[in-house]
Homo-oligomer: A and B are copies of this chain.
Amino acid sequence: MGLAEALYGRVYVLRLGHRPGRDKRVTTHVALVARAFGANGLILEGVCDEAVEGSLLKVLDRWGGRMHYECGVSGRSYVREWKRAGGEVVHLTMYGLPVDEVIGAIASSPKPKLVVVGAEKVERFYYEEADYNVAVGNQPHSEVAALAVFLDRLFKGRELYQHFEGAKLRIIPQPRGKKVVR
């Protein structure tokens, strides 16, 4: 078993600054990307949001896999606890170091990883506490995209072929049209 495989199940995503209503779709995308790209925990800082939770649970029920989910937690405490427990913290930010420069070090460490993604403005605390501030391009774009590309680099593309346990539905890839089996 390679390290990329060993890391499955040891990557959580901490979503900061979610505003219910306003951010519900983008945070749902964050949650579904976390699942589809090999993370298995989603932590919503500060608030809870039934819309996000409902979408995630529905996908887990139909398409399988398991995710740890928490909401309404203090982001600062979560980061501190994660580090105290021996994990490392990766903060995705356009101001950070290029992902290609640091992904080797991140991927070769067996430490559980907490990947922090913000909404608009992220407090200085997270820049300081992160083991790595990582940029997926130093341009403004999307935390959804940054998370997907970061996890894709971390798992070397193999996350796209994960097996999701307990799936009720499975797609048979087609050149045209849709084929889903139960």
Contact = CB atoms under 8 A, between A and B. Distances in A.
Contact of A148 (B99, B142, B178): B142
A36 B140 contact: yes
Contact of A152 (B124, B142, B149): B149
Contacts of A130: 176
Given A99-B160, A128-B176, A36 B144 contact: no
A127 interface: yes
Contacts of A161: 98
A157 interface: yes
A2 interface: no
Contacts of A157: 100
A137 to B, nearest CB: 4
A78 interface: no
A43 interface: no
Interface stretch (A5-13, A89-97, A109-117): A89-97
Nearest to A25: B26
A82 interface: no
A139 B22 CA distance: 25
A23 interface: yes
A160 to B, nearest CB: 4
A171 B59 contact: no
A69 interface: no
B141 A32 contact: yes
Interface string A139-182: 11110110111001000010111001000001101111111100
Given A96-B174, A127-B177, 17 more contacts: A25-B25, A29-B29, A29-B141, A33-B145, A36-B139, A97-B173, A98-B161, A100-B160, A127-B176, A133-B174, A133-B175, A136-B160, A137-B159, A138-B170, A142-B144, A145-B148, A148-B148
